[in-house]
Amino acid sequence: MEQKVIVVTGSNKGIGKAVVEKLLQEAPEFNVVIMTSRDTERGNAAKQEIEIEQSGIANGRLVYHQLDVIDKQSIEIFRQYIEANYNKIDVLINNAGIAFKGNAWGGEVARATIQTNLHGMMYVTEGLLPVMKEGGHIINVTSMAGKFKKIPDENLRNKFLSTEMTREELLRLAEDFIEGVEQDNWRERGWQGSTYSVSKVLANGYTRVLDRELKAQGRNLRVNAMCPGWIATDMAGPNATGTVEEGARTPVMLAKYTGQESGRFWENQQMKEWDELN
């Protein structure tokens, strides 16, 4: 039987771990579910917890491998592991991300947040594209906080809504925000005052850019962004209203989804327009 392989980054806790658990329960078509994390000890501990809880379901399908999304060497080691053991990946869920607590602000915060939430997503995706199976699906976990309507400046907002934005322009905009925070003129540059929100705006922009690039290259790959909701995790904090099980619903739905929509945004298991606020 041909193996069907799914990879979930940042899955030792929170939504990522819940996605892995839900895949094992509800997506038997994936006979290899690979969970990853930066910290090997925590990742293996999470794998053992899931295997104990789902002893009759996991049944050898669950695999753990270390992966640091901002370390290109780690990504290359993971790519080689995939190639040697599974040949190709059917679905990649880019879940790994960070958010600083409270009112953390400043150039270092902005750079670190964008480094993980944008560049890490890009590094992993680019690094694994050679082992993505044709007809496969890349699912980027972003946020409703990253909807383009959140950008206060119309000219800046329209750059993200444009169907002609390039990768180079996206990266320039990321650097523009960081410089704006460092120089305390981010308002004048048209940005909102949340490093997390801007990082997710950029991740949504990357989803659209990547979709166009893949089409231009003739790759038969879908790429979609999605919001899991406001979920009570270490990242979102105790005030969030959703459970991690609820947060896993949309990514798992998209992992199983066979429709050909690509370059789109999904929320509450439904496709939304990019220029929608709510």
pLDDT tens-digit map of 176-235: 999 999 999 999 999 999 999 999 999 999 999 999 999 999 999 999 999 987 555 555
Which has more pLDDT, 210 or 3? 210
Q: Residue 56: what pLDDT?
A: 79
Average pLDDT of span 80-84: 98
pLDDT tens string 120-159: 999 999 999 999 999 999 999 999 889 999 899 999 999 9
pLDDT of res. 134:
98
The mean per-residue pLDDT over the stretch 14-39 comes to: 96
Which pLDDT belongs to residue 277? Answer: 47
Active site residues: 196
Share of the chain above pLDDT 90, in %: 85
- Please report the pLDDT score of residue 58 as a whole number: 79
pLDDT at position 173 is: 98
Domains of the chain: 5-142+203-272 (3.40.50.720)
For 101-117, write each residue's pLDDT tens digit. Answer: 888 999 999 999 999 99
- For residue 172, name the pLDDT band (cuts at 50, 70, 90): very high
| Confidence (pLDDT) at 278 | 43
Percentage of the chain lying above the pLDDT 70 cut: 94
Residue 160 CB coordination number (10 Å): 23
**pLDDT for the residue 59:** 77
What pLDDT is attached to residue 1?
Answer: 60
Average pLDDT of the chain to the nearest whole number: 93
> Quick check: 241 pLDDT over 80?
no
pLDDT reported for residue 101: 85
